[in-house]
Structure formats: C-alpha cells, structure tokens
Structure 1
Amino acid sequence: MISKGPEPNVVTYTTLIDGLCKSGEIQEANELLHAMICKGYEADVVTYNTLIDGLCKSGEIEKAKELLLTMNSKGHEPNVVMYTTLIDGLCKSGEMEKAKELLHTMISKGHEPNVVTYSTLIDGLCKHGEIEKAKELLHIMISKGHEPDVVTCTILIDGLCKGGEIEKAKELLHTMITKGYEPNVVTYTTLINGLCKGGEMEKAKELLYIMSSKGHEPNVVTYNTLIDGLCKSGEMEKANELLHAMIFKGYEPDVVTYTILIVGLYNSGEIEKAKEMLHILISKGHEPDVEIYNTLIDGPRKSGT
C-alpha cells in the first residue's frame, strides 16, 4: 500500500495494530502506533483502546496506564470500554486498590459503569478473596439501576463457593431463578464444583439432574468436576458409571478426565485398574501429564510393589 498507494489511514493502522495485539506481538503494535503518529496520523479512541487491551492481556499494565495518560494528554477522553479494559487488567495483576480507584475516577469523569464494568471488578474481588466487598459492589450496582446478569451471578456464586459460603451460593442461584434469569452450564458447573469441594456429593449429583431436566446439557468440564468429586470421596464405582454416562451422551473424555480417574484409582488402592486406565488414555492418543507420572511413581511405592 505504502509503495504503490493508496496511503494507509487510521483505520488501516488500527486494524493492523489489532491483529498484532491478538497474535501477541505487542512490541510491534506499539512501534506501529508510533510510526502512524510520525506519519502525521492522529490515533483515535479505538486505536488507543485496541493497544491498551493488548497491553493488559499481555500483563503490561504499567505501559497500558502510561498509554492512557498519553491519550488524555492528546485530548482523547477514555470511554466505558477502555476503563473496563484497564480495570480488568488491574484485577488480573492483583492491583485491586488501583482497580477500585479507577472505577471512582471513571464515575467522577461522568462515565457510568455498565454491567460488564461492575462484573469485571466483582470477579477481581472474588478471585482475591474479597467476597464481602464483591457483595457490597453488587448492591451498589443494583442501586444504580444495573440489574446483574447471568455472568455477574455466576461470578459471585463462584466467589461464594471458593469462600466456603455454599449455602449463600445456593441461595443466590435460587434468587437468580426467581428473578427470571436462567442459569447456564457454567453457573451450574460452578455450583456443582463448590458442592463437591464442600463434600456435599448427593446435592452435587442432584444439581446435575436438575441441570439436565432444565435442558442444560452438562459438558466435559461438568462431568470432570463431578467425577473428581466422586473420586475424592472414594466413590470410584459411581465415578466410573458417570464416565460411561458421559461417553454414552457423546462426550469424549479428555486428559483431565483420565488423570482424575487414574489418581482416584491409585488412591483407592486399585493399582491395576489405574494402569488399565492409563493404557486407554494412551490408546486414545493422549499424552500422560506430570500428575499421572507422579502418581504412577508414588502409587507402587505406597503399596509396596
């Protein structure tokens, strides 16, 4: 284009910057932005947002913040999408105080956070164990007229489960349904995982049946979650039955499924069955992972063979 014409414009440069960011070539994307500016083209909000998103996803939060300041100095006001992108990056890098500060800055600048913005910060708070603050933010969000969606509720259910508040997670699921929000596969799988980790295997199995009866077909992650719970509670026969049910439904077990079962069988003292499962894993074209090898080494030693 440059050698033969037409001359690239802002859209051309932004498109290529977006492609470079998506392929992880952040340095090249940054260099292209500078080349674009040197050519006399003024980067717009979309260009800056594209590169800020790329920098956040690659963990270069400081550079993303610097670029935001550069953008401000050029007279470009960040929009809701850009603020949300940077809040997400700060949450993922563990800078929760800065993420909360940025939310306040955003509001003070006249930009009303949307459901995605609130959900992003709620997710960050949950992942860093700040469940109470996440619940407070949910109430603020609702008071501002933003009704939480399935994603927001699922995030909070996950946080409550990880914080050991299984009853509150179940209550939230019930509230979600009564408000007319239909939980999705991720929501159900999240609560099943919480119930399994809390040792409530019967309730976890019940939820699997409820999920199926509501028309939400469990996926491989759901099956793996419940199989893992059954193995850890010593219910190897039921775990095996669920494996067959999973295959019957047309879902192919993956490396995670086989790893869970091999470890479960070894821990239950069923060494030969674990070896058989390993052969099935290899025959399916899967490569055993480190956990399987560690189990294979440790299992015979524990059993004295």
Structure 2
Amino acid sequence: MTARAAAARRAAVLGSPIEHSLSPVLHRAAYDALGLTEWSYDRFDVDEEALAGFVAGLDGTWAGLSLTMPLKRAVIPLLDEISEAAASVEAVNTVVFHEDGRKVGDNTDIPGMVAALRECGVEQVESAAILGAGATASSALAALSRVCSGEVVAYVRSEARAAEMRQWGERLDVDVRTADWSDAAEALRAPLVIATTPAGTTDALAHAVPERPATLFDVLYDPWPTELAARWSMYGGAVVSGLDLLVHQAVLQVEQMTGVHPAPLTVMRKAGEHALAAR
C-alpha cells in the first residue's frame, strides 16, 4: 500500500442533482476491498455557483473529487492543470489533490468507454453511430477516435447540434457525418451504436432493431434495461451498459486518488448491480 493510501483521506462526488449517483457505492466498495478503512467517500449537491467556494474550503485530508453535471466544465478554471483527455473534450470528471498542492483534472469517461467496449470484445470497428449530441456524445466521439477507423454518423434533432458534433469531429480528428433524428432507425445497422440520450428517448427505436444487431453501448443504467437494450439483447446483439461505463471510469478514479493499482473492478461492479437491484 502506498503512503498516500495509508493515511485517512476523504473524497466525494459533486453535482446537482446528485442523490441518484452510484459513485459512493462503487468507491466505498473499492475502499473496503483494498483495506482502506480510514477512507471515506460522500456525495454533495453543489451547483456551478457554489463550486469555487466548496473547492476552496477543502483541507489537506482530501484526496480527490468526482464531478458530474453541471460541473465538468465549470471546474476547469479552478485547477492547476488538466490531462490531454480532459482538454480534448473540455470536460473534467476527476480531480486529484496532490501532496505538493496541485489540483489536477482528468477525464476518465473516455478511457472508461474504451475499456467497457474492449471488455465486450470491441477493439476496432470500421464505422459507428451516435444517438444524441449532448455532453456525453463528445466523450463518445473521443472514445471512438481510439476504436473507430472510419465514419461516425451522429443522429441529432437540430442543425445547431449537428454543427456542434461536426466541430467536435474536427477537433478530435474523427470523420463525423450528421443525420436528422427522424432517420435514427438507420443507426441500428452500424457495427457499433452508442446511445447518449436521456431515458425514454430511444424507446421508439426498439421496433427497428435488425435481426442480427452488432453492439449497442447505451450509457443509461437506471432504469435498466432500456427498451432498446432489451430488444437488442433479445435479438442476440452485444450490449454495453451505462453501469459498465460507470464502473470502468470509477476504477480509474480510485486508482488515481488512492495510488493503488489495480482497483477491484469485479467488486465494484457487483456493488453497483446490488444497489441498482435494490432501487
């Protein structure tokens, strides 16, 4: 165990709203498995206006923070440096407080997506489709820059969103073509489909799942399965869930905050599954 891990430390997830977050369940399960009995992990409802004051009030016992919406961009000006991954999508979901006082931001969503796909057997695809164009879609594009060798088609509801996705494609060096949401059923024939939309948005597409679907990555995890994911599985397709993403990105957070490698992925996943089943 590292000296960093041996001491009593604090960590937490911040966002607003935050009561739904599974992060405390995952991180606490990791601490228990690693024997970090003096570590604690909490959740705090913090909005953009309160963020600077919250961070300024943290003392030296704090090891790190997990950040969810709407704080992933708002936190950047408060940090001393951010990783290349975080800079690529202008979003930080992880802050580590170093012993020298530096506050360093990272984005574990991107490598978390890649790891979740690889766990499902997806190493490389020739093309892909993204459903939606929100903040998660930009992280999905960044992940696809690592696993997709060809065109990515993004299905969106407005020209403004389409323009945003094309801009992200240029920035991330991904060949992005946009299409109207009314044609979203076409996406389901892609070798890899990443659904980044809110709950219920893709329900109307479930009837259009092809007889032999490939891989669906649905970033939702509650409620689960979505109608699209359930139909996809019924037809024999591979499904990666939002819980898979949450666990893989949390594994990377635990490793960065504690300095202990590897974090207990299986234990964390089981804890997440148990918590979801109890809801």
TM-score (norm 2): 0.32
Structure 1 or 2: larger helix share?
Answer: 1
TM-score (norm 1): 0.30
Q: Which has the higher contact order (CA 8 A, sep 6+)?
A: 2
Could you say which structure has the larger radius of gyration?
1
